Amino acid sequence: MDLETLVGAARDASTRAYAPYSDFRVGAAILTENGAIHTGCNVENASYGLAICAERNAAAAMALASPDDREIRLVAVYSPDASPCFPCGACRQVLREFGCKEVIVEEASGLRRYPFEEILPHAFGPEDL
């Protein structure tokens, strides 16, 4: 998988963000271990606290579309409104649920890959139950 393709999918998803309250658009693209790509954008609500991040919407799309392929190899996150745009804490935990191994963000110097353990160390996960 070409990383540019995955980041392109995240970029494309960010154009569909529904963010009338924050004006902060985000797109996420998940690559599964079997090579599928699932995308999501943030979707806000007049009841502000109900906003859902791009990463969690991408994870929900994955869960629905590929019940037999829910291992996340990596996730690319992109926002035209912030560079880099890292997943929030809640999204890190949700990505962790599906074994996410790496996060890719676009920095001024280019694409940068972060091992998941680096952005959510000592995580609580399904194997702890």
What are the residues facing 1 on neighbouring strands?
none
| Chosen residue from 42, 58, 72, 98 binding ligand THU by CB under 6 A | 42
Owner of token pair 């109900």: 50
**Does 24 interact with ligand THU (rule: CB under 6 A)?**
yes
Tell me the C-alpha distance between 68 and 121, whole Å.
27
Catalytic residue among 4, 55, 97, 107: 55
Q: Which of residues 58-117 bind ligand THU (CB under 6 A)?
A: 77, 85, 87-88, 91
**Does 44 interact with ligand THU (rule: CB under 6 A)?**
yes
Region label for 15, one of left (φ > 0), alpha (ψ between -120 and 50) or beta (otherwise): alpha
**Does 39 interact with ligand THU (rule: CB under 6 A)?**
no
Q: Which listed range, 3-11, 19-27, 62-70, 121-129, lies at the site for ligand THU (CB under 6 A)?
A: 19-27
55 is catalytic: yes
**Does 51 interact with ligand THU (rule: CB under 6 A)?**
yes
Region label for 23, one of left (φ > 0), alpha (ψ between -120 and 50) or beta (otherwise): left
* φ and ψ at residue 98, rounded to 5 degrees: -105, 25
Q: Which listed range, 1-9, 21-29, 59-67, 101-109, lies at the site for ligand THU (CB under 6 A)?
A: 21-29
- Enclosing H/E stretch for 40: strand 37-41
Q: Which C-beta is closer to ligand THU: that of 69 or that of 88?
A: 88
SS3 state at 60: helix
